[in-house]
Chain A
Amino acid sequence: MEERPFSDISYKQYLNEEKLMGSRCKKCGALFLPPRSICIKCHGSDMEWVEMKGKGKLVAFTCITVGPPFMIEEGYDRAHPYCSGVAELEEGVKIVARIEGVDTTKPETIKIGTPLTVRYLHRGEAENMKTYLAFSV
């Protein structure tokens, strides 16, 4: 795999390329998503990139009616809530993401443990492109 620094910038570049990339400590094997450049288990700093399969399950979530300005611009409001949540991946790491394909007006129907598959929400074009991590049920 190519040598990109184990940074938030690289993580976001990979999201633009529709790859969900974490880092693994070569010394102790601990896996991190988003990637870390310093292992918080053994303080080693020799890392390698690992691509996640993008499969997991929902472990916590919320349906938000009062969002920050950039979500309001996307059309979300009190009548149209969006779901954000925590996904636990098959690889054993957790990640926060937008959750798609659930009825956010009936949050009581959303179940913890629901299987999830990764999706990439692209906004903007070319060098202005930004990608939000999402998972759909």
Chain B
Amino acid sequence: MQRKRKLGRGVAVVGAGMSKFGMFKDKDSKDLFVEAFNEMLSSVDKGADPNDIDALYLGNFTNDFWVHSAHWGPVISDLIGLTPKPATRTEGACASSALAFREGVFAIASGFYDVVLVSGVEEMSKRSTEEVTEGLAMATSSYEAEVGFTFPGVFGAVATAYFEKYGATREHLMNVTIKSHNNARLNPKAQFNLSIRDTMNSKIARAEKRGEPVPTWRDEKEFLRDPKANPVVAWPMHLYDCCPISDGAACMLLVAEEMAKSFTDNPLYVVGIGQGSGRALHAADDNTCFEATRYAAKEAYDMSGLKPEDIQFAEVHDCFSIAEIIHPEDLGFFKPGEGYKAVEQGLTRLDGPKPINTSGGLKCKGHPVGATGVAQLFEVWEQLRGEAGERQVPIKDLRIGAAHNLGGTGGTCSFTILERR
């Protein structure tokens, strides 16, 4: 039986930084990491000395494949002047840096280290779409890859099973896309900080300028139904259902709880942390949910003593629109089969009772896979400290936020709950 988890000693987040996400011709993994690291250092209210960092944990999925260079722990450690301090790379596909965060927490909770840098980085955009697709497919099961499944393909298949079981349709997926873009519009670091309406207007303006036929979409959904504007990638996943190819980095400074106040008067505390593993499509009992997410969530809820209704807002792993419908169900925010209705009713909007993916999510903020886990927690950091600017969640006394990160096709899932006291 799964017993209640606890940390040997408390762990706090005292600094966080994130590079801008996007496709950068003139920046590589190192440049992006430096951007995130420098921002993290300047975010520590009372200052942090890099010499005090005991160890580095770095999430990175596959610079091996996309950059043709492996073993990035010491590369990054040297880049920011931490050598000969230990550097450990964690790999859990798209959940790689959630694992780095978790290992950092355990290293401090055990009493071994006091100050740990946890981070993630990925550089994808210098490869062709086909090569990125092939690289990502390395994290599906070999059975899936052999019969042609891609990442969007696996989530497309999950969507057809979900539609069949619960009666949702493509129109419901569009609600997710429109909401994600509305949030990302308010996030200056997002890869696509445009609403769907902004995108439509810019396409119309471009057609007018070039003297081409001007599109006549009546609303956002008509735009998303237009196969020219929104072509199929892996049915029913269309272009606007899929997260983009992205480059980016993120990092956080973790310290032992008793030291937190010497870094900042406003630290966040790690109150729940869970991780689970799951099976491939053919071996999963149910293709409309993710067993690993449910396990991770139970572990984190049990540890924290919190319930799903206590989580005031969350970042969830919306690699594809259908995922943002399923994960909130697996996390207990909504009942199975109710996730698509919750989005339709606006419950997950920035001004709704349970804001989801206020950053714009992977879909619009971008998804440099190895950086995503820590980048999601970066959003929780900004929201809980009241530093999210125009996209600040308008709930009074915002104290508890969480991030859900999923790797592969549900093979590795994590759920982390942070609290401001």
Contact = CB atoms under 8 A, between A and B. Distances in A.
Interface of A: 8, 33-34, 59-69, 71-72, 76, 78, 81-82, 84-86, 93-98, 107, 112-113, 132-134
A132 B158 CA distance: 22
Contact of B161 (A63, A68, A112): A112
Contact of A62 (B130, B146, B235): B235
Given A8-B142, A72-B130, A112-B164, A64 B148 contact: yes
Nearest to A8: B142
Contacts of A84: 144, 147-149, 153, 157
B282 A96 contact: yes
A81 B150 CA distance: 12
Contacts of A64: 148-150, 152-153, 156, 233-235
B147 A63 contact: no
Contacts of B293: none
B188 interface: no
A98 B153 CA distance: 12
B283 interface: yes
Given A68-B137, A97-B147, A61 B160 contact: yes
Q: Most B CB atoms within 10 A — which of A60, A69, A72?
A: A60
Interface string B144-181: 11111110111011101100100000000000000000
B235 A63 contact: yes
Contacts of B53: none
Contact of B160 (A62, A67, A132): A62
A112 B158 CA distance: 12
Interface of B: 129-130, 133-134, 137, 142-150, 152-154, 156-158, 160-161, 164, 231-237, 280-283, 287
A76 B282 CA distance: 24
Interface of B is mostly: helix
A61 B280 CA distance: 14
Contacts of B130: 66, 68-69, 72
Contacts of A95: 143, 282
Contacts of A71: 148
Contacts of A78: 231
Contacts of A107: 232, 235-236
Contacts of B237: 62
A64 B236 CA distance: 9
Q: Most A CB atoms within 10 A — which of B148, B157, B161, B234?
A: B148
B161 A66 contact: no
Contact of B143 (A60, A62, A81, A96): A96
A64 B152 CA distance: 8
A24 to B, nearest CB: 15
Contacts of A59: 161, 287
Given A60-B161, A94-B282, A112-B160, 5 more contacts: A8-B142, A59-B287, A68-B130, A71-B148, A98-B148
Nearest to A113: B164
B143 A34 contact: yes
A60 B158 CA distance: 7
Contacts of B145: 68
Contacts of A86: 157, 161, 281-282, 287
A13 to B, nearest CB: 14
A81 B130 CA distance: 15
Q: Most B CB atoms within 10 A — which of A67, A84, A93, A133?
A: A84
Nearest to B164: A112
A60 B287 contact: yes
10 contacts: A60-B161, A61-B157, A62-B156, A64-B152, A66-B133, A69-B134, A84-B144, A93-B282, A94-B282, A107-B236
Contacts of A93: 282
A78 B231 CA distance: 9
A132 B144 CA distance: 11
A134 B148 CA distance: 11
A78 B228 CA distance: 12
Nearest to B242: A66
Given A63-B235, A96-B280, A96-B281, A68 B150 contact: yes
A18 to B, nearest CB: 16
B150 A66 contact: yes
Q: Across chains A and B, which 5 residue pairs bring their CB atoms closest together, nearest first? A: A62-B156, A107-B235, A60-B157, A60-B161, A63-B235
B234 A65 contact: yes
Contacts of B153: 62, 64, 84
Contacts of B282: 33, 86, 93-96
B287 A65 contact: no
Nearest to A78: B231
A81 B148 CA distance: 11
B346 to A, nearest CB: 27
B160 A66 contact: no
A60 B160 CA distance: 6
B319 to A, nearest CB: 14
B283 A94 contact: yes
A127 B275 CA distance: 42
A95 B157 CA distance: 13
